[in-house]
Structures are given as C-alpha cells and as structure tokens.
Amino acid sequence: MSRLFVAAAMILGVCPAAFAADPILCQGEASGHLQGFDSDGEFIYWSMFTTLIKTDYVGRVVAQRPVDPHHGDCCVHEGKIYVATENRTKERRGLYINVYDCRDLAAVKEFPVDFHNGGIDGITFANGFFYVGEGKDKKSERDFNWIHKFTPTFVLVEKIKIPGKTIYGIQAMTFADEFFWLGTYGKDRTYQCDARLNVIAYHAVDVSVGAFGLPKGKNGEIRLMVARNVKKDNGRWTASAAPAILRDGRLEWEK
C-alpha cells in the first residue's frame, strides 16, 4: 500500500478510524480464517479462506464475494487486489495470483505460477516488483524459506533465500517504510528485512495473517496495522486489526 495514498486519505478525512488505537472489527465472516489483508488508504480488503471482503475503516462491509479455497495473503497495487491462491478445487487445482478490481471486487485476471515443490503464501509489491512467498510442508526441517521476485506480469526475476525455520513458510508480508515485514508461524514470528530482504530483526508481534503500513507516529516511529483472527460463536471466522508501533527497535502493540 502506498504511504502517499494513506497520507492523502488522512488529509481528505476519508479514513480517520484507521489511525485510532481501538481495534477494527471486520463485520464480514467466512467459513475459513483470514489469510491476509491490505488497504488502499480508503478501504480495507480482507482475504479469507473462501471469501474476499471489502470494508470501510470502521469494519462495515462494502462488498464481498465468494472465492475458491484457499485464497491466501493479498496486496493492493494500482487499484487492484492481488491474491496468492492455492486453489484446492478439483477443477482448478494449482497455484495462482488472482486479481480483482478494488471498486467492486470483480475478477480481472489470474496468473498461474509453479513453485514445483511448494505451496504459495505471502505477497507484496515493492519498488516495481511483486514478491511472493513459497509455502512448504508442515513437517519440513528446512531452515530457510523462498521468496520469488516477479515482474508486474509475473515473469520470474529471481528466488531469494530467507533464513529461518518456519511452519508452512512465509505466511504474509508487506513492504512499509522501506522494510519488508514477513509474518511466519515460527518461533520469532515476524521478520523485519531491509529492501534487499536481508533479515535485520525479529519481533514477537504476529503479522502472519496480514499487516500494512500506517503513517508514522508523533515521534517518527514506524507503525503497522496488524490483523488478528477471530472465531465466532457460530463456528465461522472474522478478523480484527489494531496498530503496532516500532519503539526502540521493538515492534509492540500501540497503546
């Protein structure tokens, strides 16, 4: 998500609730939990296992659509939502980047991808390229993770090795304030990486189901909006989100 877009949105007053300390509760729901979310500065897009939901910054549903399981992490770029999808339906089984229009969530395009040995997880856009995480088996003992760098038309540029033992790989990612933030199910849940994807810090705040950048704090601190899963009494899923802030090199929930 573009920080300039968010700043402009704040000036126009279209999303004041996004920057409060109170959590946002998505008022939509799905049969499977949240996989990732992002924002264009005016609306939030929640990619759940079987449902793509668009809300305002209070969490009210603006639009939603059913999707094939399992839709994964998502990112917003130039008015489109890009979703890393491991389609498990019999007819369409495979890995795809599904693309939707931010205005009405209409399907626009899809790009098939082939990671050969792995699934697909996190996705973000940075400096002219898409970055997509390759999933791995739950029982894998591999002590590193792959991120694939693609052109805007999903032509592979390179594979980047990210050290660290994780379960399933890099689950969600975002690029904010010139850093990559990688969410995992590992011991050190969140990796902070520089623009070359070198790991520079680990954080306990869990961004494995989504995060996006917020305007900096009053003292210039980096801030992220971070999603969390919510299981409802009816057995279905929704999600909430709250700001986290980087203080003294440590990502923590904003008070």
pLDDT digits (tens, 9 = 90+) for 136-182: 888 888 889 999 999 999 999 999 999 988 988 999 999 999 999 99
Per DSSP, the three-state class of 49 is coil
**DSSP 3-state percent helix, strand, coil across the chain (nearest 5):** 5, 50, 40
pLDDT digits (tens, 9 = 90+) for 77-122: 999 999 999 998 888 899 999 999 999 999 999 999 999 878 998 9
Query: What domains lie within the chain, and their CATH numbers?
Result: 3-253 (2.120.10.10)
β-bridge mates for residue 119, sequence order: none
Tokens 């899809």 map to which residue?
110
Q: Is the pLDDT of residue 131 over 90?
A: yes
Distance CA 74, CA 130 (A): 11
28 contacts 56 by C-beta, under 8 angstroms: no
Distance CA 31, CA 164 (A): 31
Percent with pLDDT over 90 in the chain: 77
Percent with pLDDT over 70 in the chain: 90
Name the residue type at position 240. S
Give the ranges where the chain is alpha helix by DSSP (H). Answer: 3-12
Name the burial class of residue 96, with classes exposed (0-12), middle (13-18) and buried (19+) by CB atoms within 10 angstroms of its CB.
Answer: buried
Per-residue pLDDT at 22: 63
Per-residue pLDDT at 11: 34
Cβ atoms < 10 Å from Cβ of 204: 11
Per DSSP, the three-state class of 207 is coil
Q: Per-residue confidence at 187, pLDDT binned at 50, 70, 90?
A: low
Q: Is the pLDDT of residue 14 over 80?
A: no
Report CA-CA distances (Å) from 238 to 7, 21, 38, 62: 27, 19, 15, 15
Tokens of 138: 């739950």
Report CA-CA distances (Å) from 225 to 50, 199, 240: 23, 21, 10
Distance CA 157, CA 115 (A): 13
**pTM of the prediction?**
0.91
Closest by Cα among 230, 177, 169, 180 to 203: 180
Closest by Cα among 16, 33, 24, 35 to 75: 35
Name the burial class of residue 230, with classes exposed (0-12), middle (13-18) and buried (19+) by CB atoms within 10 angstroms of its CB.
Answer: middle
Per-residue pLDDT at 222: 97
Closest by Cα among 230, 242, 241 to 30: 230
- Mean pLDDT, rounded, of the chain: 90
Name the burial class of residue 79, with classes exposed (0-12), middle (13-18) and buried (19+) by CB atoms within 10 angstroms of its CB.
Answer: exposed
